[in-house]
Amino acid sequence: MLNTEASWFTIVGLEKGSAIAIDMSMNVKSVVIYLAIVLAGYVVVSIADSFAASEISTRLKISKAKVIFTQVKKFFSLFAKDTQQLSCFLCCSIIGCLILLLHKCSRVVDAQSPMAVVIPTKGSEFSMKLRNGDLSWHDFLEKINSLKGKEFIATEQPIGTFTNILFSSGTTGNSMDQYYSLKAAADAWCHMDVRKGDVVCWPTNLGRMMGPWLVYASLLNGASMALYIGSPLGSGFAKFVQPQNVPGIGELALGPLMLGASNTLLNADHYGVYFKGMPLLNGKVSSIEIERICNGVDSNILETAAIGVPPSGGGPELLTIAVVFKDSNSTKQDLHQLRMSFNSALQKKLNPLFRVPQVVTLPSLPRTASNKVMRRVLRQQLSETNQNSKI
**CA separation for the pair 6, 38 (Å, rounded):** 8
**CA separation for the pair 71, 55 (Å, rounded):** 17
Q: Is the CB of residue 19 less than 8 Å from the CB of residue 203?
A: no
Mean confidence (pLDDT) of the chain: 78
227, 342: one domain: no
Measuring CA to CA, how many Å separate 50 from each of 24, 105, 363, 381?
9, 10, 46, 40
pLDDT for residue 311:
80
Residue 142: pLDDT band with limits 50, 70, 90: confident
Q: Which of 282-286, 309-313, 353-357 has the lowest mean pLDDT?
A: 282-286
- Last residue within a domain, chosen from 239, 259, 279: 259
**CA separation for the pair 354, 343 (Å, rounded):** 7
Q: Which of 53-62, 137-146, 167-176 has the lowest mean pLDDT?
A: 167-176
249, 301: one domain: no
Q: List 199's β-bridge partners, or say none.
A: 224
274 in a structural domain: no
79, 207: one domain: yes
**CA separation for the pair 162, 92 (Å, rounded):** 48
Residues 28-40 have a mean pLDDT of: 92
82, 215: one domain: yes
Domain span holding position 315: 287-384
Q: Is the CB of residue 308 less than 8 Å from the CB of residue 379?
A: yes
Residue 221: pLDDT band with limits 50, 70, 90: very high
Laid out side by side, the sheet with 301-309 consists of 301-309, 318-325, 358-361
Render pLDDT for 60-114 as a digit per residue (tens, 0 to 9): 999 999 999 998 755 543 333 333 433 333 333 333 334 334 433 478 888 899 9
265 in a structural domain: no
270 in a structural domain: no
61 in a structural domain: yes
Total domain count, the chain: 2
pLDDT for residue 386:
44
Give which of 187, 260, 199 is closest to 226, Cα–Cα: 199
pLDDT for residue 215:
94
